[in-house]
């Protein structure tokens, strides 16, 4: 099969769409947006992107957990597509590039191929997956996990947010509980363009990241039950202070992670006290622990140390502890041939490139279970992400989309079905 033509995307069109989508859930005074999964902002964002997909004449499907896939038409239905994608849900007070870039760049690649009259050996497709962030409904990458068969649809539909709203009911409410089957038929290959969300490419002034894989993720929600009491009258030695205990654990996570070293990171990102009042010793504390490492063994060792510390803090304060896992994914390597292709494609287009693992979770780590998968990273200015100040320069956005386009076309050629 001869090498496909090298193409460039319409950068201005891609940047226009990124801007238009970012207006949905826009945070006043910033360039960021808030579109938590399955909320009204997510619905509006979905409707806009689906309109763009349908305007291109693509075949648009919605599956039982709200994943949306748009595929070029005119190929034998048995020919699986080369799929690009990501997510358009955001964290609360997030940036405009996280996820959105991968979806809109995939759409741009398809539109560019249609404009050029290109007919790859396989159809190209683009997806956005439900609830990648996991901020509202855990685990993260919920939609793509169901898409690849890693979680049953019924179990996913039953997941509830902290206010008790269920995924299934919210999908119904926003009109995205679809009929397409999940798990889905695997694509021939999957490529995701995403911002790095870390500092490496920016610090080294490298344009493209050839992502080698995704680090392991461990999320746990912990609840301490102490005794609410008067902040003024309760002697210190008689307190059973859930708030103090939670703060001790947050400090311990930082200490344990520092002692582990290497790629280990740890975060207590959510902490809710009850009754959360200035003059009441907290009777209850509910908090989350996010631990990640590129090495599974090291991650397990840190998980064990943190769990032991939580038990010891609870015993010392005379409080009870309960916990529930929110997410647990082992490190995932990407397909070497796709990582190589990202690297050679970046070089062919004249862009600097380096290999690196992803510190963030991505839908690609789920697609890697069912097909050859890789990711293309572009810079995050100052390494800032999950923050309205998240920024990627226009020229880097376009460079990443050009690499995505040519990687997708090469994969379509390299996996051409026999009869082509
Ligand atoms: O948490 C993550 O790494 C991703 O943003 N869901
Ligand atoms: Mn993301
Ligand atoms: Mn994110």
Could you read off the pLDDT of 106-163 as tens digits, one per residue? 999 999 999 999 999 999 999 999 999 999 999 999 999 999 999 999 999 999 999 9
Q: Is 359 close to ligand 1, i.e. is its CB under 6 Å away?
A: no
In this structure, how many other beta carbons lie within 10 angstroms of the beta carbon of residue 230?
A: 9
What CA–CA distance (Å, rounded) separates 337 from 329?
Answer: 23
> Contact 383/24 with Cβ under 8 angstroms?
no
**Parallel, antiparallel, or unpaired: how do β-strands 82-86 and 124-128 relate?**
parallel
Q: Can you give the pLDDT at residue 249? A: 98
| Dihedrals phi, psi of 395, to nearest 5 degrees | -65, -30
393: Cβ–Cβ under 8 A, 6 or more apart, which residues? 379, 381
**How many Å apart are CA 324 and CA 61, to the nearest integer?**
34
Determine whether the shortest distance from the Cβ of 361 to ligand 1 is under 6 A.
Answer: yes
Question: What is the rounded CA–CA span in Å between residue 263 and residue 275?
Answer: 37
Per the structure block, which two tokens stand in for 335?
Answer: 């397909």
Q: Which two tokens stand for residue 356?
A: 């690196």
Q: Which atom of ligand 1 is nearest to the CA of 290?
A: 1
Measured in angstroms, how far is the CA atom of residue 278 from the centroid of ligand 2?
36
- CA 22 – ligand 3 centroid, Å: 15
CA distance 357 to 183: 27
What would the pLDDT profile of 373-414 be if each residue is shown by its tens digit?
A: 999 999 999 999 999 999 999 999 999 999 999 999 999 999
pTM: 0.97
Counting every residue written for the chain, the total comes to 420
Sign of CA dihedral 145, 148, 151, 156: positive
Q: Which helix (H) or strand (E) holds 281?
A: strand 280-281
Look-up of token digits 């896939």: 69
- Tell me, using a 6 A CB cutoff, whether residue 196 lines ligand 1: no
For residue 360 and ligand 1, the question of a CB distance below 6 A is answered with yes
Separation of alpha carbons 63 and 182, rounded Å: 6
The contacts of residue 119 (CB under 8 Å, 6+ apart) are 74
Q: Where are the alpha helices (DSSP H) in 228-378?
A: 242-260, 296-317, 336-348, 364-367
Atom of ligand 1 nearest to the CA of 132: 6
Distance CA 396, CA 139 (A): 30
Q: Among 216, 362, 363, 380, say which to mutate for ligand 1: greatest number of ligand atoms within 8 Å of CB.
A: 362
State if residue 183 touches ligand 1 by the CB under 6 angstroms criterion: no
Evaluate: CB of 390 within 6 angstroms of ligand 1: no
User: Is any atom of ligand 1 closer than 6 Å to the C-beta of 402?
Assistant: no
Rg (CA), the chain: 23
Packing angle between helix 11-22 and helix 100-116, nearest 10 degrees? 140
b/e 272-284 (16+ beta carbons within 10 angstroms → b):
ebbeeeeebbbbb
pLDDT score of 211: 98
Neighbouring residues of 66: CB distance < 8 A, sequence distance ≥ 6:
38, 46, 130, 143, 171, 176, 177, 178
Residue 271 burial (10 A CB sphere; 0-12, 13-18, 19+) = middle
- Note the helical H segments in 56-135: 100-116
Residue 291, strand partner residues: 218, 266
Q: Alpha-carbon distance 282 to 307, whole Å?
A: 21
Residues 6+ positions from 28 with CB-CB distance below 8 Å: none
Residue closest to 6 by CA, chosen among 337, 340, 349, 341: 349
Rounded-to-integer distance, Cα 244 and Cα 250, Å:
10
Neighbours of 47 (CB within 10 A): 13
The candidate with the shortest Cα–Cα distance to 132, out of 405, 381, 365, 417, is 365
d(CA 210, CA 33): 27
Burial of 205 (0-12, 13-18, 19+ CB in 10 A): exposed
**How would you write the pLDDT of the chain (420 residues) with one tens digit per residue?**
567 779 999 999 999 999 999 999 999 999 999 999 999 999 999 999 999 999 999 999 999 999 999 999 999 999 999 999 999 999 999 999 999 999 999 999 999 999 999 999 999 999 999 999 999 999 999 999 999 999 999 999 999 999 999 999 999 999 999 999 999 999 999 999 999 999 999 999 999 999 999 999 999 999 999 999 999 999 999 999 999 999 999 999 999 999 999 999 999 999 999 999 999 999 999 999 999 999 999 999 999 999 999 999 999 999 999 999 999 999 999 999 999 999 999 999 999 999 999 999 999 999 999 999 999 999 999 999 999 999 999 999 999 999 999 999 999 999 888 765
pLDDT at 416: 85
The pLDDT value given to residue 136: 97
């Amino acid at each position: 099969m001869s090498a496909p033509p090298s193409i460039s995307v319409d950068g201005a069109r891609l940047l226009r769409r990124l801007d238009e989508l970012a207006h949905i859930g826009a945070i006043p005074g910033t360039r960021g947006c808030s579109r938590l999964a399955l909320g009204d902002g997510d619905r509006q964002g979905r409707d806009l992107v689906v309109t763009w997909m349908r305007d291109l004449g693509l075949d648009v499907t919605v599956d039982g957990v709200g994943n949306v896939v748009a595929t070029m038409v005119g190929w034998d239905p048995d020919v699986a597509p080369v799929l690009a994608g990501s997510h358009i849900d955001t964290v609360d007070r997030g940036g405009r590039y996280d996820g959105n870039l991968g979806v809109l760049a995939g759409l741009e690649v398809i539109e560019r191929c249609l404009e050029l009259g290109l007919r790859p050996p396989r159809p190209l497709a683009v997806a956005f997956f439900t609830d990648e962030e996991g901020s509202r409904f855990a685990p993260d990458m919920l939609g793509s996990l169901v898409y690849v068969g890693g979680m049953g649809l019924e179990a996913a539909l039953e997941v509830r947010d902290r206010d008790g709203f269920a995924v299934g009911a919210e999908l119904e409410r926003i009109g995205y509980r679809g009929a397409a089957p999940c798990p889905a038929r695997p694509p021939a290959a999957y490529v995701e363009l995403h911002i790095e969300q870390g500092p490496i490419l920016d610090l080294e002034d490298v344009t493209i990241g050839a992502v080698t894989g995704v680090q392991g993720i461990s999320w746990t929600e912990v609840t301490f039950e102490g005794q609410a009491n008067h902040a003024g009258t309760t002697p210190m030695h008689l307190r059973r202070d859930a708030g103090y205990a939670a703060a001790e654990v947050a400090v311990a996570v930082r200490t344990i992670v520092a002692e582990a070293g290497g790629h280990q990171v740890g975060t207590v990102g959510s902490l809710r006290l009850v009754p959360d009042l200035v003059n009441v010793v907290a009777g209850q504390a509910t908090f989350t622990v996010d631990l990640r490492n590129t090495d599974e063994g090291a991650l397990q060792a840190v998980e064990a140390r943190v769990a032991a510390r939580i038990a010891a803090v609870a015993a010392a304060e005379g409080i009870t502890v309960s916990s529930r896992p929110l997410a647990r994914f082992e490190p995932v390597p990407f397909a070497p041939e796709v990582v190589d292709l990202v690297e050679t494609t970046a070089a062919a287009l004249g862009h600097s490139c380096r290999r690196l693992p992803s510190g963030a979770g991505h839908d690609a780590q789920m697609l890697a279970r069912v097909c050859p998968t890789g990711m293309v990273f572009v810079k995050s200015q100052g390494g800032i992400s999950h923050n309205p100040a998240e920024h990627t320069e226009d020229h880097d956005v376009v460079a990443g989309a050009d690499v995505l386009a040519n990687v997708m076309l090469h994969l379509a050629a390299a996996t051409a079905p026999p009869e082509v």
